[in-house]
Amino acid sequence: MSGLQQICVLGATGSIGLSTLDVIARHPQHYQVFALTGFRRLAELQALCLRYRPRYAVVPDAGAARELQGVLRSAGLPTDVLVGEAGLCEVAAHPEVDAVMAAIVGAAGLKPTLAAVAAGKKILLANKEALVMSGALFMQAVRRSGAVLLPIDSEHNAIFQCLPSDYARGLGAVGVRRILLTASGGPFRETPLAELEQVTPEQACAHPNWSMGRKISVDSASMMNKGLELIEACWLFDATPAQIEVVIHPQSVIHSLVDYVDGSVLAQLGNPDMRTPISHALAWPARIDSGVAPLDLFRIARLDFSAPDEVRFPCLRLARQAAEAGGTAPALLNAANEVAVAAFLERRIRFPEIAVIIDAVLTTESAQAVDDLDTVLAADACARAAAGVWLSRHGR
Ligand code: NDP
Ligand code: MG
């Protein structure tokens, strides 16, 4: 590794953002924080700015910008505070930035991530929703700009590590039979079905193996996270939905596997700590210390596997259907899910109604071919409106 790389961390105040900063802080000779962005946790963003002294910070509105700018100026920092989506896109595409950690949650990350792609950056992609929404356009833009796209999602990072470097020739051409995408099954893997009606946001967010933001935690509990990851894997590795099999593996030690035609199955293992994929992608193709403890196989002792239950987890089936339908179907699915998860977190609906809302939206809104970003954004808006109508009729 040579030189000091300038890193833009979109979503710095979140779970992935903080893990990224933890890794960066271990290697000050290699990485420097160029930009940090936050949304609601602005006191945390201020503390991060004081610690990492970025060139830029981005906040959602002018009032928050004035306040943060004042504090940073009086502390003698050179940081300029920018505002809103335009500010996010500006720092993501800034000529001095080498790598962008795309770690904003949900559709809000789409435009800034695409700005980094268009500018040909090295993109460390955590924000799976951006790729799910705009798949074909996103991948075309990567090819056009020559951006380097590295997956942060632990499963996709594992698959990337298990594939040969020339996998872009096609999975068939490099001898891959299928991709085995592992899933923990989340906190409700064994909860009696009737009890799912009563589960709370706190229970849904208490993931057995991973500590994550609230939206992805609920997605893990409903297995929509695995559904989004199936779509994400199709785009990243040019796979069909049929080439991807979901495997329940409750210990989250194997992060995914690649099955080759000669019967070899390659897996990537590690403790469930996002600093491993983050370090892998930051340093790729080199390796750096991530701070993650070595894997203790004797303590783990056993690894279990089972097939997913689509009655218990209808979101997985809905996502697979959207992946097969293509066009704007994944954008509709994603937007309906974002609205439904927010409503569940606000206690306006019960947990099983997340899948009911998504199913209703996918039934009433028909998928279109994707011509441009406007088509994707229109589908996103339609699905949000349709989910809103469902909530006003049935939600509390
Ligand atoms: P968090 O909720 O912890 O963090 C989300 C980040 O996005 C925060 O910095 C938040 O700012 C910011 N943000 C939220 N809404 C907006 C908005 N409208 N505009 C701008 N910024 C916004 O989520 P995670 O870190 O857990 O997840 C981030 C992404 O990474 C998600 O797409 C998730 O699916 C993916 N991912 C996460 C994993 C994990 O282990 N956490 C694993 C694999 C993927 P603020 O906090 O200041 O409000
Ligand atoms: Mg994952």
Token reading at 351: 């947990």
Asked if 122 and 184 sit in the same domain, the reply is: no
For residue 395, what pLDDT is reported? Answer: 75
For residue 275, is it within any domain?
no
Asked if 141 and 199 sit in the same domain, the reply is: no
Classify burial at 154, counting beta carbons within 10 Å of its beta carbon; exposed 0-12, middle 13-18, buried 19 or more.
buried
For residue 228, what pLDDT is reported? Answer: 98
Nearest CA among 14, 19, 69, 15 for reference residue 46: 69
Which residues are near ligand 1 (CB < 6 Å)?
A: 11-17, 38-41, 103-105, 108, 126-129, 153, 210, 212-213, 215-216, 274
Phi, psi of 237 (to 5 degrees): -115, 15
For residue 380, is it within any domain?
yes
Asked if 199 and 320 sit in the same domain, the reply is: yes
Beta bridge partners, 33, equal: 7
Asked if 131 and 200 sit in the same domain, the reply is: no
Asked if 136 and 39 sit in the same domain, the reply is: yes
For residue 217, is it within any domain?
yes
Beta bridge partners, 35, equal: 8, 56
For residue 156, is it within any domain?
no
Asked if 337 and 254 sit in the same domain, the reply is: no
Among 98, 132, 151, which residue terminates a domain? 151
Alpha helices in 243-328 (DSSP H): 275-283, 297-300, 314-325
Beta carbons within 8 Å of 38's beta carbon, 6+ residues apart: 11, 12, 13, 44, 45, 48, 57, 58, 59
Helix axis angle for 353-364 and 314-325, nearest 10°, is 20
Residues near ion ligand 2 (CB < 5 Å) are 153-155
For residue 315, is it within any domain?
yes
Residue range 48-63: mean pLDDT, rounded: 98
Residue range 15-26: mean pLDDT, rounded: 98
Of all ligands present, the nearest one to the C-alpha of 256 is 2
For residue 95, is it within any domain?
yes
For residue 227, what pLDDT is reported? Answer: 98
CA 110 to chain centre: 11
For residue 225, what pLDDT is reported? Answer: 98
Distance CA 214, CA 345 (A): 8
pLDDT grade for 1, boundaries at 50, 70 and 90: low
Distance CA 58, CA 76 (A): 18
What CATH number has the domain bearing residue 10?
3.40.50.720
Of all ligands present, the nearest one to the C-alpha of 217 is 1
Given ligand 1 and candidates 20, 133, 156, 216, which is best to mutate, with the most ligand atoms within 8 Å of its CB?
A: 216
pLDDT grade for 241, boundaries at 50, 70 and 90: very high
Among 151, 174, 201, which residue terminates a domain? 151
pTM for the structure as a whole: 0.98
Asked if 369 and 315 sit in the same domain, the reply is: no
Phi, psi of 174 (to 5 degrees): -100, 15
> In whole angstroms, how large is the CA radius of gyration of the chain?
20
pLDDT grade for 2, boundaries at 50, 70 and 90: low
For residue 277, is it within any domain?
no
What CATH number has the domain bearing residue 362?
1.10.1740.10
Classify burial at 198, counting beta carbons within 10 Å of its beta carbon; exposed 0-12, middle 13-18, buried 19 or more.
exposed
Among 151, 174, 202, which residue terminates a domain? 151
Asked if 194 and 243 sit in the same domain, the reply is: yes
Asked if 179 and 295 sit in the same domain, the reply is: yes
Instruction: Tell me, in angstroms, the distance from the centre of ligand 2 to residue 212's CA.
Output: 10
Distance CA 191, CA 365 (A): 32
Alpha helices in the chain (DSSP H): 15-25, 42-52, 62-74, 84-92, 110-118, 128-145, 154-162, 201-205, 214-222, 224-237, 275-283, 297-300, 314-325, 329-345, 353-364, 373-394
Asked if 201 and 309 sit in the same domain, the reply is: yes
Instruction: Tell me, in angstroms, the distance from the centre of ligand 1 to residue 21's CA.
Output: 14
Asked if 369 and 312 sit in the same domain, the reply is: no
Contact 116, 147 (CB under 8 A): yes
For residue 210, what pLDDT is reported? Answer: 83
225 CA: nearest ligand 1 atom: 34
pLDDT one-digit tens code per residue, 261-276 = 999 999 999 999 999 9
Domain that holds residue 178: 161-270+282-324
Q: What is the mean pLDDT of the chain?
A: 97
For residue 66, what pLDDT is reported? Answer: 98
Percentage of the chain surpassing pLDDT 70?
A: 99
For residue 276, is it within any domain?
no
211 CA: nearest ligand 1 atom: 40
Of all ligands present, the nearest one to the C-alpha of 127 is 1
pLDDT grade for 301, boundaries at 50, 70 and 90: very high
Asked if 387 and 293 sit in the same domain, the reply is: no
Q: Tell me which DSSP letter residue 199 carries.
A: -
Instruction: Tell me, in angstroms, the distance from the centre of ligand 2 to residue 183's CA.
Output: 8
Number of domains the chain is built from:
3
Beta carbons within 8 Å of 363's beta carbon, 6+ residues apart: none
